[in-house]
Structure 1
């Protein structure tokens, strides 16, 4: 079973493409669940049928659901809050402060991710397609398990078993997201320079989180005006030429495959219209096929007496990059997204002497302690 997560800037059509992907999988005889974590919940509108928090049949082999975070909070949050209260109390926070601290930002995203994992595990699905919220919400969704688990691991000696149990749960969620054999992200965008710029920043942020992006989808391309004439045709050709130029620049900056979908005059609603859209999107290819194998985030290579640490981050020319070292951890901040990465044991007695960005990502040169500074 694989999980495909569709995300992108709000309004780019990710819900429709997620629904079309699930419909194509089901039409091929594979049991597919498409589930929305987007608070806007337009997935039901795409199929033209009502959906609830539990999977319901949309068509043969095709099931849909939407995550109702408010209902989840009413049902699940009291148990999670009690676990966090025990953790914080065990760490020396008094009971009143612990109650206040358990009203945490990001709980909605954490509950939504937990529910997706539950739905994936509870059904006979060969694929689960997730219509995620807009990009910023999705980045928070992917960051939370690691961030909270890291915090819990630090307070574990004083917080006891409650911290361990919660950290293990979050670690399982993190492992699901970071395993390219089980999960992959499809980034949806419209071919406009501002949207593509945000998409490239998202690629960097997800790579920094260790999340595998396996493909890009350019949606709503203006149709080609082949034999048409007149002002409308001239406008269409000019607009399509601008979009093609944007796509060419993007293709030159990433090894990821870019699928394209042209704008339709009528909004695709219902399984038949979604299947037609999927035919253009996948052109007969398997929607689950992986066209890109990710490089490991960290790799070490010899450089004479020194060692080089390669961090596979797709950096843009305008990326705001900051590096720092905190003991055996490397602190990397790119465009406001920060992550602590444990240095490989081989490099912990070395000193960083140089850093540069290249086609492989970020390359840091390490010299043995006492070497050139």
Structure 2
């Protein structure tokens, strides 16, 4: 550790002021107390890092506000969204905000970031922190199964056959034309993320979790996010059709009871009620996305031309859907250096071109640009996330 610290201090003393050096010294003092603390199995050591002198994230404003509590981080796959989200959650918690961090990415990267199993589908307290921080990874397979089960109960062939035998064949044909089996058996894209967000909102409505004042969501890659934005409207229209059918079916309830019995009928009603609750949850998700007072979407990217172009399209889509977006994190930025190898020089040249693209991009230029430095270790475990948070969220 001493050698790593010495190398870091030598680098910083050449590129930053004594205030930054003092800050890093405090970081290492904190880290040294964490090295032998469970559940972290490996010490966190940084040998080389540099902080680009770019616009700060405005964390003081983020931490002092009382209304804005939801922060969604999204972008291209592999740009470090999870590390940025987890580090923000750790920093919020360390600054007095009881915080929940949720991942809707099926890759389960949040567990890897915290070096802790968070894949159980329930809120888990993060170890290694004195402040309240809970984490949750949504299980996409479980979400799909719940949706599929509700669909099977609601549109079973038994009910259709019964209606046909009762002379309600026209109604049965309407059921077939709507292809409810196909809709319910194959959940629409974005449902995982929507269920994750609705679950968090349900948590917050309960007295047990009313204490949490910051919610950080690590979303799946860009394509999922774009589908998520359009999902509430899709679900509202689709489930709306089902609810109309439910009213028609209700007119034959007495006849169904006489053949199927009360228990079977209740199964169908419970299933449709569950779908109605899902539609209501989607409406709340839509309101959350569009509420600039309580929500902010933070785009995360890396300094490559392809990533910047994708981020620009994401930003345009967010603005079109009236989703509030103010900040852009550019991750993995190479530090400046007086001497470089040919590879580093070419890499830095490419990154400079990508950063210039951002500053001149019609969609991205208006966002606060935050440069996150490239470090020579994996950002994994609470000490590492705290270190990253102090570099990025300033």
TM-score, length-normalised on structure 1?
0.66
Deviation at 1:110, TM superposition (A): 3.9
Q: State the match for 1:55 in structure 2.
A: 123
Determine the C-alpha separation between the residues in 2 that align with 1:154 and 1:75. Answer: 20
Distance 1:91 1:130, change over 3 A: farther
Determine the C-alpha separation between the residues in 2 that align with 1:91 and 1:4. Answer: 45
Which stretch of the first structure deviates more once superposed, 89-98 or 31-40? 89-98
Which stretch of the first structure deviates more once superposed, 122-131 or 91-100? 91-100
Q: Contact 1:4–1:129 (CA<8 Å) still a contact in 2?
A: yes
Q: Contact 2:104–2:192 (CA<8 Å) still a contact in 1?
A: no
Distance 1:155 1:64, change over 3 A: closer
Task: Compare CA radii of gyration and give the structure with the larger one.
Answer: 2
Determine the C-alpha separation between the residues in 2 that align with 1:147 and 1:171. Answer: 11
Q: The residue matched to 2:234 in structure 1 has which SS? A: helix
Matches within 5 A, 1:254-269: 254-269=365-380
After superposition, the C-alpha distances for 1:239-262 in whole angstroms (9 at most, x for unaligned) are 224313321331233211111111
1:212 pairs, out of 321, 324, 336, with 324
Q: State the match for 1:272 in structure 2.
A: 383
Matches within 5 A, 1:61-210: 61-75=132-146, 77-79=148-150, 82=153, 92-94=174-176, 97-104=179-186, 105-106=188-189, 107-122=191-206, 123=209, 124-152=211-239, 160=247, 167-210=279-322
Deviation at 1:263, TM superposition (A): 0.7
Determine the C-alpha separation between the residues in 2 that align with 1:138 and 1:84. Answer: 29
Matches within 5 A, 1:280-291: 280-283=391-394
Q: Contact 1:91–1:159 (CA<8 Å) still a contact in 2?
A: no
Matches within 5 A, 1:7-46: 7-46=74-113
Deviation at 1:61, TM superposition (A): 1.5
Distance 1:275 1:37, change over 3 A: same
Q: Contact 1:3–1:184 (CA<8 Å) still a contact in 2?
A: yes
Q: State the match for 1:287 in structure 2.
A: none
Distance 1:164 1:44, change over 3 A: closer
After superposition, the C-alpha distances for 1:9-39 in whole angstroms (9 at most, x for unaligned) are 1110101110000000011111111111000
Q: Structure 2 regions of 5+ residues with no counterpart?
A: 1-67, 160-170, 248-271
Matches within 5 A, 1:240-319: 240-253=348-361, 254-283=365-394
Q: Contact 1:189–1:217 (CA<8 Å) still a contact in 2?
A: yes
After superposition, the C-alpha distances for 1:331-370 in whole angstroms (9 at most, x for unaligned) are xxxxxxxxxxxxxxxxxxxxxxxxxxxxxxxxxxxxxxxx
Q: Contact 2:72–2:298 (CA<8 Å) still a contact in 1?
A: yes
Distance 1:165 1:28, change over 3 A: closer
TM-score, length-normalised on structure 2?
0.63
Distance 1:93 1:214, change over 3 A: same
Determine the C-alpha separation between the residues in 2 that align with 1:61 and 1:68. Answer: 23
- What's the Cα RMSD here? 2.9
Deviation at 1:167, TM superposition (A): 4.1
Distance 1:155 1:55, change over 3 A: closer
Matches within 5 A, 1:338-349: none
Determine the C-alpha separation between the residues in 2 that align with 1:261 and 1:185. Answer: 17
Q: The residue matched to 2:386 in structure 1 has which SS? A: helix
Q: Count matched residues.
A: 277
Q: The residue matched to 1:35 in structure 2 has which SS? A: strand
